Structure 1
């Protein structure tokens, strides 16, 4: 909190806080249930937008509309009064004029002016929280919105006073890095921070609930719960669902429930890995080697450079043209669910970051590629 407000000697959060955490590990719950209320309690106007709330709509539009709704909430009474008086425009804090007929619409009012107007109308600092911010990079309007937000930050914040706080989260650190990692990135120089997963405090809370409702299970083995939670990938939704199942009177379990919970975690992990293996083996050979290269290279992936084309040829035993690679990438993007993500600048990445962890684990274990014939790939139509 202090860092966001520019009151901490260390860190750069007042220039933008970038948080990365895997999907379903409680990131959005933290942003909406913990961070946003804490900011509001500290006298900050909070605007929250989830860019995955509707992936069919342009992320730039979603950002603009979230800011517009917050602005309209503050100016609604002023606007109605102005209209009754026959005025066409109202002034915010005696400065910026806003067309009362366009309040709630960003067309004609850029994001910088809209955020400045919101801060002046609210009479307090503004915090814009963008969940799944990496999705903004998938459209030109989204990229433009990010650049505008950087400009708004630079114009609205002054030494010793932060009027605009930017918090951006992502479920894939590699994708989020594209907002900060090179000189052309809108927030070049900022750092990505890993959002810590739920820890022993969460496990203690769950164990306490079980002990309160089931005295016959006192004491609950907290270490066993922690191990199961880790095996579930620190995903509370899956963990709690499994807890409910093994504690149900209909489960058929007798005695201690912890071993059954640990087994459920191992089963879930095996199921996740089996699904990824099935997805991979269901691809055409050219698609497989493209995905293999992407998993191996991460943010360094370049689909058509000489090294990549050599890699494809070595694995397939035949050359792959740029056109064939393009066709394979597009096929990977069009799958349901998509296996590959593409930015507006033509950068590619694996859609689900969990595949990177699966790939790394198999490679470390010497079981990559996941093919009974150890990577012997046959020609395809690509």
Structure 2
């Protein structure tokens, strides 16, 4: 990789900027970790006086996962700077409403409130607009109301499906995801205080005290099951994180994180 990028640098005689989207997935496998170290070696070589420079920009949709690329000395880019990108704002919604090309205009201020309510997810706005375009019987005057209904319905459906998965968990799986969500970056799956929190979570869920058994093998199996259900994400070095922050939000709204931090 270093040889290839050095050749490109020498040929172009310009700084190379390599952008990696959803870069956190690299640390879920040993091969991905090795690739990051190879990129670091290439960066060090190209930033020497022999070549013309290499800048690496890693982006991701989950800040906690992305932070794992630079929070530990055993990571290739330990200590690298991290910038929080702002969410899409009113300017994006103004552009969206001006270019959506529906039979009746949408009010940007109303759409922005709807956008915030639905978790800043532009794909929901686009899907709602597409559905309206193919509803040939729809009265144009009712388009703003119909648009809002469709966006909210999609957001509710996404959350409802997630809630079904959460409610289908076994007691120990539920306890693990709740404690992980409550502890955040401080989550240590097998420490004694964490094991006590699992038991507390199960007790809060109404499990009888004599039925509560929390042991390391059971927690390990629960973590595997949660990964298979796409609720938990694991880095190759054994660090776990909740897959999406919306899971934490749903558990918090249901009062399932109280007393577990």
**In structure 2, what is the Cα distance between the partners aligned to 1:249 and 1:135?**
39
Match of 1:107 in 2: none
Larger Rg: 1
Task: Describe the superposition over 1:155-185 as per-residue Cα deviations: whole angstroms up to 9, x where unpaired.
Answer: 32158x8610101111111111011113332
User: Does 2:217 align with 1:323?
Assistant: yes
Q: Tell me the residue number matched to 1:350.
A: 242
Q: Which segment drifts farther, 302-311 or 259-268?
A: 259-268
8 Å contact from structure 2 (residues 231, 243) kept in 1: yes
Match of residue 277, structure 1, among 163, 171, 192: 163
TM-score, normalised relative to structure 2 = 0.85
Task: Please list, as runs of the form range in 1=range in 2, the aligned pairs for 1:48-59 lying within 5 A after superposition.
Answer: none
Structural mapping, 1:197-276, within 5 Å: 197-210=87-100, 214=103, 217=104, 220-250=106-136, 252-253=138-139, 255-276=141-162
Conserved? CA contact 2:118–2:151, under 8 Å: yes
> SS of the counterpart of 1:170?
coil
Mapped to 1, the partners of 2:157 and 2:112 lie a distance apart of 20
Change (3 A) 1:249 1:326: closer
Counting strand residues as a fraction of each chain, which structure ranks higher? 1
1:288 positional shift? 0.6
* Equivalence for 2:14: 124
8 Å CA contact retained: 1:242, 1:264: yes
Partners of 2:85 and 2:213 lie apart in 1 by: 42
Aligned to 1:369: 256
User: How many matched pairs?
Assistant: 249
- TM-aligned CA distance change 1:192 to 1:284, over 3 Å: same
SS in 2 for 1:193: coil
Q: Deviations 1:115-166 (Å, cap 9, x if unpaired)?
A: 212212333322221111111101112112212222222232158x861010
Matched, 1:163 2:50: no
Runs of 4+ in 1 over 4 A off after TM superposition: none
Matched, 1:188 2:74: no
8 A Cα contact 2:9 2:52, kept in partner = no
CA contact 2:14–2:52 (8 Å) conserved in 1: no
Q: Pick closer, same or farther for the CA change 1:209–1:344 going to 2, 3 Å.
A: closer
Give the TM-score normalised by the residue count of structure 1. Answer: 0.60
- 1:66 is matched with none
Equivalent pair of 1:332/1:340 in contact (CA under 8 Å): yes
- After TM superposition, the structure 1 = structure 2 runs for residues 36-51 of structure 1, keeping only pairs within 5 Å, are none
2:76 equivalent to 1:173: no
Unaligned runs of 5+ in 2: 203-208
